[in-house]
Structure 1
């Protein structure tokens, strides 16, 4: 394949045109257009020159463990240090903590570009930033002084430790115990599994953010605390003794072989509480929020890489006759209608996901927009829906695009050397971690349609419909507007039906939760694509190819949005199918 191209022009289009309204409200004290161009081009060069050359060997070698120490693949330590020393690992952390202080959306865009080079490598960079944010927001002065600069710059790394052998989604089952010491610190004992970057040799120290049950505290979630537990104790930034945190094993996984997914054992490890006892889950959710948003960009990165590979292959692979012009000469497969359609589907899926993901990051910024109290209230209400939808849509589009890339390659894509095979294995984790996509859809049904006080989905739909008022569309594009308005009306009816079923037939309401999430997703994407068309119609000096971008929009409305027809029929028949499903008894 030719050199990897970071999607700089795509982000330029979003920042200056499609989502410029939100950018202006956030009032960033930087030239975001120039920053995006400079940073993404530089990270793209890093990916092309340093990371992609390691992709196949790192996947083949994977991570290894010797004694209680894990090791990332050969070459990763040098590449990690290069990335950190160049300052890219501290893009959005505060200047007083050694960072560059740039907006968080730019950091997420860098996650996408890094994930194109290696999703496994990108995880070492991104996961620690959640630890940084938690300490920055909730940590004591002691913890801030001790850890913020080290973690914020990437000199030290960090992890999030939730899952245990007996509990994943249900965190009330956590058994890791924290016992209070006389000096105000705690001793933690227990086992955590599936810890991304749980142990490695890329940095001198790893700072674990651990959710644990405080001795003597109430049962359930109220008894949990959040603790900083370093791998090594330190004094004045110097590494000291082991803190009794050991790596028991590394998971043997389908993909992301170069990411050390570890089982960690805490044996009377010293920890410092973050925030107040009993509020551990609140602090952990602030880290999970960033990780969940980041998942969308990881998926986009894999999708962008495999799409670019597929385009390059389709342009150069000569195979088959020209069935349209009846020529006997063999042609490049990109000239075949079905291949051309699939490439446009891949590109439109990536653009749709990027619209959702970037809008989500901007809404996240607006949740703290003190200058706009009503907008801040709105953003806090609808952000959880955007997060769930963006995570689900991007991760599933990521799998679909990587699969379509393999189909474009045919048998060559199934071979390891193509680079498609390992990317397809890597992306499979994204619909699973940071809350499975089924859990995301259940969250919308159970907590966002009506939570006892608010009808958040209704708030979302009202806000989305208000976006119609700002659209300037040509007459020929009005059909897409009418199509989207019809979708909205059907979604409102379906939402009311689900609300009734939650009271009368909850099985019916929950069985098609994923279909409902995708219905909501298309309502969001429809508005965003209408804003794309409006931008194409009335904006000048576009960084993107106007003809191709309009083709994407037309493809979305004429091929992808009509997915809602099938989902609407399924949801209409939910009551009938609930009886069928409940009577079904699986047999071995």
Structure 2
């Protein structure tokens, strides 16, 4: 991988202009858009200097299971030590826990840069923050005193232990048990799989956050508890003691993210401490999952950013073919061919669209707690699940799409290992799968967010988008695209009513089209954000190439937004699609 420049100006433009209202509402003067830019500029140099050289070697070496545990790839140890020593691990943890106290969107933006340098390394750096957040929110004072500062700084790492061999999304099948001891702790036994960073030697301790069924508790989800289970016991003075009953017999042999230890963990009478009240484990785990799902979107954007940057660099230097438009005889760079130029602009526009969608989701997540006005906090709580599902699913699919287009731009040179593009394409494939598959995100939107008995979250989201459009300036380059965007929102209104009816009378038809609905809602959000981009381009001294951004907006409305009509057409044909699916014989008689 030869080219990477951190998208500092993009984030300054979003924070300081496009989404300035949301951004300023959850930050103070010390966390200005310029501060965000400075943070990303510095981290970008760290990524370019320390992480990019390790992409090929760490992918080839992967993780190794030894008698003492899992060994991370050579080179990662020094980079991780520098990451912690430079304070990156504590960027947005609380000041009282030794952190810098910066807003969480800073951390998500940093996740993009780290993921551009190495998705595997980014996972070691970020997954622990969910453990920190859960402990900070519902942990006992004793647990906070023991773990928060170490986890928050990155000196110790953490994991989320949810999935089991027989149990992924359906947590009612969970079998790991927790038995209460006389000393107030619990003993956990069971097997967890697909645990990101489940075991490694980058930190001296790993703190597992484990979902388990409490012996003697009610059946079903009400009987689940959340437990802190450290790899090594921690003494009263903070020193590490003997190893707990947690072992890693193997790491998964995966398509991508080879340098990330995706582990199977065996809990054998392991000592654990309950987090929150018995039976409240699921709520605590979902708070961690929320951050992981938003983080997944930024991981995808990081891959899309570096993949598209390198595709452009290659297309500018690769001489191939003659001028089929102007009729020139001399060979020319492939970037001059219409189809390649289209793919370049498509990659960049998709990446920008995903970044806006993810960043506004991160800001709305902050609004749920930090917004000054109660009405703003309430609306954020209602629309966040819609934005979160859309950001996770759409950004991850955009990551795959952009990495694929980057490989196509490189041709055969992208398929071989020399350029590093094939590593990106293998790594990014996990993102539509983990932290709740994209189909799960789509079903959540259709089953829970149309009407949950208290809120109609999709309707609230559409109303919020219309408010944003109404607040745009009365003049500017956005005006030409306002009618089309409002028309899309109106079409979504009609689809919402259709889905509500189908969920009652034809649920099969409705649910098999849930993914189309998610993308349709996503287009409503992205189109509104592109209007805000166009309006912001009327400003002066902007930190971006305004000609490039104008072109991206034009391309989005002309080339990408028509995808909404395709989604609408599929939703309208839901009953015909249902019949095709039901009449197709499901057997192995190929």
TM-score interval w.r.t. the shorter chain? over 0.9
In structure 1, how many angstroms separate the alpha carbons of the residues matched to 2:390 and 2:54?
33
Q: Contact (CA 8 Å) 2:476, 2:535: kept in 1 or not?
A: no
Q: Does 1:468 align with 2:483?
A: no
Residues 212-227 of structure 1 correspond to what in structure 2 (within 5 A)?
212-227=212-227
Residue of structure 2 equivalent to 1:80: 80
Q: Deviations over 1:320-376 (max 9, x none)?
A: 111122111111111111111100000000100000000001000100136210111
In structure 2, how many angstroms separate the alpha carbons of the residues matched to 1:7 and 1:579?
47
Residue of structure 2 equivalent to 1:520: 521
Residue of structure 1 equivalent to 2:282: 281
Q: CA RMSD in A?
A: 1.1
Q: CA deviation at 1:3?
A: 4.4
Residues 84-95 of structure 1 correspond to what in structure 2 (within 5 A)?
84-95=84-95
In structure 2, how many angstroms separate the alpha carbons of the residues matched to 1:416 and 1:369?
46
In structure 2, how many angstroms separate the alpha carbons of the residues matched to 1:309 and 1:260?
27
The alignment partner of 2:366 has SS state of: helix
The alignment partner of 2:370 has SS state of: coil
Q: Deviations over 1:171-220 (max 9, x none)?
A: 11110000001111000000000000000000000000000000000111
Residue of structure 2 equivalent to 1:299: 300
Q: Does 1:255 align with 2:279?
A: no
Residue of structure 2 equivalent to 1:34: 34
The alignment partner of 1:327 has SS state of: coil
Q: Contact (CA 8 Å) 1:68, 1:246: kept in 2 or not?
A: no
The alignment partner of 1:285 has SS state of: helix
Residue of structure 1 equivalent to 2:482: 481
Q: Contact (CA 8 Å) 1:333, 1:339: kept in 2 or not?
A: yes
| Structure 1 residue runs without a partner (length 5+) | none
Q: CA deviation at 1:442?
A: 0.4
Q: CA deviation at 1:474?
A: 4.5
Q: Contact (CA 8 Å) 1:68, 1:248: kept in 2 or not?
A: no
In structure 1, how many angstroms separate the alpha carbons of the residues matched to 2:441 and 2:224?
23
In structure 1, how many angstroms separate the alpha carbons of the residues matched to 2:371 and 2:296?
27
Q: Deviations over 1:463-506 (max 9, x none)?
A: 11111111126476433111111111111111101100111111
In structure 1, how many angstroms separate the alpha carbons of the residues matched to 2:554 and 2:101?
38
The alignment partner of 2:473 has SS state of: coil
The alignment partner of 2:435 has SS state of: coil
| Structure 2 residue runs without a partner (length 5+) | none
Deviating beyond 6 angstroms after TM superposition, the runs of 4 or more aligned structure 1 residues are none
The alignment partner of 1:178 has SS state of: strand
The alignment partner of 2:587 has SS state of: coil
CA shift in 2, pair 1:476/1:297, >3 Å = closer
In structure 2, how many angstroms separate the alpha carbons of the residues matched to 1:407 and 1:257?
23
In structure 2, how many angstroms separate the alpha carbons of the residues matched to 1:477 and 1:129?
39
Residue of structure 1 equivalent to 2:354: 353
Q: Deviations over 1:521-541 (max 9, x none)?
A: 00000110000000012x111
CA shift in 2, pair 1:229/1:64, >3 Å = same
**TM-score (normalizing by structure 2):** 0.98
Q: Contact (CA 8 Å) 2:27, 2:103: kept in 1 or not?
A: no
The alignment partner of 1:314 has SS state of: helix
Q: Does 1:9 align with 2:36?
A: no
Q: Contact (CA 8 Å) 1:187, 1:271: kept in 2 or not?
A: yes
Residue of structure 1 equivalent to 2:239: 238
Residues 179-578 of structure 1 correspond to what in structure 2 (within 5 A)?
179-235=179-235, 236-369=237-370, 371-472=372-473, 474=475, 477-537=478-538, 539-578=539-578
Q: Contact (CA 8 Å) 1:406, 1:421: kept in 2 or not?
A: yes
The alignment of Structure 1 onto Structure 2 pairs a total of residues equal to 587
The alignment partner of 1:226 has SS state of: strand
Q: Deviations over 1:87-114 (max 9, x none)?
A: 1111001112111111110111000000
CA shift in 2, pair 1:475/1:179, >3 Å = closer
The alignment partner of 1:485 has SS state of: helix
